[in-house]
Amino acid sequence: MRTLELFAGAGGLALGAKKAGFHTEALIEYDKHSCQTLRLNFGASTDVIEDDVRNINFKDFRGGIDVVTGGPPCQPFSIGGKAKGNQDQRNMFPYAVDAIRKIQPVGFIFENVRGLLRASFSRYFDYIILQLSYPELEIKSGEAWENHLARLENFHVNGQYKGLKYNVLHRLLNAADFGVPQKRERVFIVGFREDLKADWNFPLPTHSDKSLFFQKNISGEYWLRHGLPNRFNPKPADTSYLFNPNDLKPWVTVRDTIQNLPDPRVGFSEIKNHIFQAGAKSYPGHTGSVLDEPSKTLKAGDHGVPGGENMVILDDGTLRYFTVRESARIQTFPDSFEFPVSWTESMRQIGNAVPVDLAYIVAESVHKTLMMHKINHNAN
């Protein structure tokens, strides 16, 4: 199964797809620093195309790509940005639709920030989904997007459309619910070409905050695992936390994730990208992540990230910046994955990335569905 990745960034989604069994034929990314990271880590078997997607002739990929993946730039919909949505020239969703129209893959996986689901963007989000469902029903020259939406809605309701069609689902997923040591919500949009008649659903959560609470405050397993004395918190009014939700694993914490890394403040570390950065400060509204919970959502930045999301509060109450390696682990990049750029640029790439393991869980479910369809198709 071959994929083409659009807006590849540092490659979190592509790496998750690779782990799931896909082969990435090409990665398209405009930013030169991200391309450095991609070339170093994906090797000669994957073509890194350093270009703007608006310059790409997607028809060249038709017949050679099974699944299109990517994360169209999120600034137009980000809560942390100006949030202009469809009016922002950085909105790249039309080019993602163009790729689907011209390549006609059997499926696609796109992801974006949770801000895409804001009430103020709900109509435009419906428009995105319908464009992906009926990619050949293009917007006409001079046609307003609202009028194009009305045409798409009409075709969707009357059921008379006979062209290229995708069955599309979307879901807001919290990475922590899937074993990622970070409270990070991302919107995933997954589509299968209608002629496949694929049976598919979004993966169910594998981890929970209640399981973590139980291990920390009821059974004490969490503290025992880390060789620490029990640190019980007051029991909440919600007594459901008292019952062991043993069907789900506990959320993975920052301590779970970085405990075997040496303190970057002490001496030189031979571990790649594990270098101490001074200057971390705490003030109201700007605090770091605690060790015994999943981290806050890492953001694209280094010094001065608004909520202090790129800092960690240590056991003695002091705080410091996460190293690049620690941040990469929190985004579930393997330690073999290197960032050959500056600290500032590395933190930007990591903050913009899709958690690798979250991408893997979604991509694996898609891969299994497509492989089963292929087996059934060949049997017939």
* pLDDT tens-place string over residues 9-44: 999 999 999 999 999 999 999 999 999 999 999 988
d(CA 353, CA 333): 10
User: Which one-letter amino acid corresponds to residue 152?
Assistant: L
d(CA 200, CA 259): 37
What's the topology of domain 2-205+354-379?
Rossmann fold (3.40.50)
Among the ranges given (88-92, 206-210, 316-320, 340-344), the one the predictor scored with the smallest mean pLDDT: 88-92
- The predicted structure's pLDDT at residue 88: 46
Question: If pLDDT is split at 50, 70 and 90, which confidence band does 374 have?
Answer: confident
Task: Give the CA dihedral 184, 185, 187, 190, nearest 10 degrees.
Answer: 70
Q: Does residue 64 have a pLDDT over 60?
A: yes
What average pLDDT does range 220-228 have in this prediction?
Answer: 95
- The predicted structure's pLDDT at residue 22: 97
- The predicted structure's pLDDT at residue 79: 47
- The predicted structure's pLDDT at residue 379: 58
Sequence ranges of the domains in the chain: 2-205+354-379, 208-352
- The predicted structure's pLDDT at residue 91: 79
* pLDDT tens-place string over residues 304-326: 565 578 999 999 999 999 999 99
- The predicted structure's pLDDT at residue 92: 86
Q: Does residue 256 have a pLDDT over 50?
A: yes
- The predicted structure's pLDDT at residue 85: 40
* pLDDT tens-place string over residues 331-373: 999 999 999 999 999 999 999 999 999 999 999 999 999 999 8
What average pLDDT does range 69-85 have in this prediction?
Answer: 61
Among the ranges given (53-67, 111-125, 190-204, 341-355), the one the predictor scored with the smallest mean pLDDT: 111-125
Q: Which residue has the tokens 């990271």?
A: 37
A 10 A CB-CB count for 261 gives: 15
φ, ψ for residue 20, nearest 5 deg:
-80, -10
- Identify the residue with better confidence: 354 or 80: 354
CB 95 within 8 A of CB 103: no
Q: What is the pTM of this model?
A: 0.92
Nearest alpha-carbon partner for 216 in 235, 226, 206, 231? 231
What does the block give as tokens for 14?
């592509």
Across all residues in the chain, what is the average pLDDT?
90
Q: Does residue 76 have a pLDDT over 80?
A: no
- The predicted structure's pLDDT at residue 33: 97
- The predicted structure's pLDDT at residue 62: 96
* pLDDT tens-place string over residues 168-195: 999 999 999 999 999 999 999 999 999 9
d(CA 88, CA 91): 6
- The predicted structure's pLDDT at residue 81: 45
* pLDDT tens-place string over residues 262-318: 999 997 888 999 999 998 988 887 889 999 999 999 988 655 565 578 999 999 999
- The predicted structure's pLDDT at residue 115: 86
The reply to whether domains 2-205+354-379 and 208-352 share a CATH topology is: no
What's the topology of domain 208-352?
DNA Methylase; Chain A, domain 2 (3.90.120)
What beta strand segments (E) does the chain contain?
2-6, 23-29, 47-50, 67-70, 107-113, 166-174, 185-193, 207-208, 249-250, 289-290, 311-313, 319-321
